[in-house]
A and B are shown apart, each in its own frame.
Chain A
Amino acid sequence: MNKRQYTPKERMAIQRCKMVEQDAAARAGNFKEVNQGLAEAVAIEEANRCIQCKNKPCIAGCPVAVRIPDFLAKVAEGDFAGAAAILQADNALPATTGRVCPQEKQCEEVCIRGKGGKGQPVAIGWLERYVADWGMAHASAPVPPATRTKYKVAIVGSGPGGLTAAGELARIGHNVTVFEALHAAGGVLRYGIPEFRLPKRIVDREVANLEALGVKIECNVVVGKTITIDQITSEFDACFIANGAGVPEFLRVPGENLKGVYSANEYLTRINLMCAYDPQPGRTPILRAQTTVVFGGGNTAMDGVRTSKRMGSSRAILAYRRSRAEMPARAEEVKHAEEEGIEFMFLVAPLAILGDDKGWVRGVRLQKMELGPPDASGRRRPVPIPGSEFELECQVAIVAVGTKANPLLTATCPQLKLNKWGNIEVDANQMTSIPGVFAGGDIVRGGATVILAMGDGKRAAAAIDAYLKTK
């Protein structure tokens, strides 16, 4: 136990720690994790930067309301087991969120240490990761509850929303079955987020922990096709739909079906889920290009462009139609990408993908943009600059401009009320228009984040438990 006591002045004098990172030039050529984690002494000192302020804005800034000051206090004392117990009680997937949450827009944005212009917030995300990893290394597998209820709950999708709900419900003692459409559990954590941001051993461990709790996971079950929601409601007492991100949007410009144009979903799935980075006979193939251009400005675009660099592109270019300030991507990813030699082209929009006479991508035609007045999203709208068109040579183009709701499940369940974009409508308790059927994550929100899906899963689990008690 670390007994060092800090005076308030000493506490305020501690500078925010630095994350140990894999060397940028080396990591641009491998898939190993970029962030190497904090050392124990560094974590303890960083946690001592928390002044245990009265209003605790960080808790309100967290979509799953982790008791951040409480777990930081334990870390500050060197009581990692105590910290892990608090963290794990509030957050089903802390090793994941510690790595992929946009902390700078959540807990850390509102941290009082970051206020006043020159201050820097406590590194809550890095400490969350430290404690979660410590927990995984030291804790034994979770023990299922001694008694089970008589209730059966089905979860559709094993992404962050589904896994969170499954864990919460299994801990209460409900009998939980998760249906996953793909051949491996994890959803976007498996097929979407690359190894260098979220090692798959973390996902494996989270899934194994749920199975140890008694959660049954059935892969290769495509709800809406293999079984329907009607079948689920006749066999289960409640259901949570968290089937995820849906159908990729394309650019609607000429040349989009040329060989060498991928949706980010396809590119990342081939590499992350299907391990195309490791060429072996019988493996899923992937195109490797000298120059790759990725369209978009979000986390998926960042994952795509950084992955293409690791797949051997000497130029990996992110083309975004707004400016840096409007990029939705996580700040740390942008910093990492720049260090890795990713080229950013801001204020450019695609006009066409250009092909050669054999149908292969040979480049893209772009138009320069300038920022006009704000649009519906509150961000300044990009406006084309006439006469500014230019061509950029590339062999692979990746489209990462968002997704729309996948009708695969909802088409076979007409009673499910949808909004005009095809997303499922829910009430404040995540319940859909069908009693006992709840939904959350991207199928409700459109494209969102891991932590928001987890928040939905947590809220839905509590509501499902309450609903079951009324049955």
Chain B
Amino acid sequence: MKVRVDVMLKDGVLDPQGEAVRHALGALGFAGVEGVRQGKVIELELADGTPESEVGRMCEQLLANTVIESYRIVME
């Protein structure tokens, strides 16, 4: 089974890379881009039946740094 984990900087944590992308979009002439946040997508290939709680533990222990990042688990 495939599981996707989206890792994003928490709201309120400055995302300088997202800001740089926002500026670059403006420079290309795309008007009205009011915010860009950049994150990570991690795809896991797991044994069938792996519970979501186990993926949660993977996120807490390694995949996300919960001081600055939030995560979302998508069981596909």
Same assembly: no
Chain B contact residues, CB within 8 Å of chain A = none
Query: A-side interface residues toward B, CB under 8 Å?
Result: none
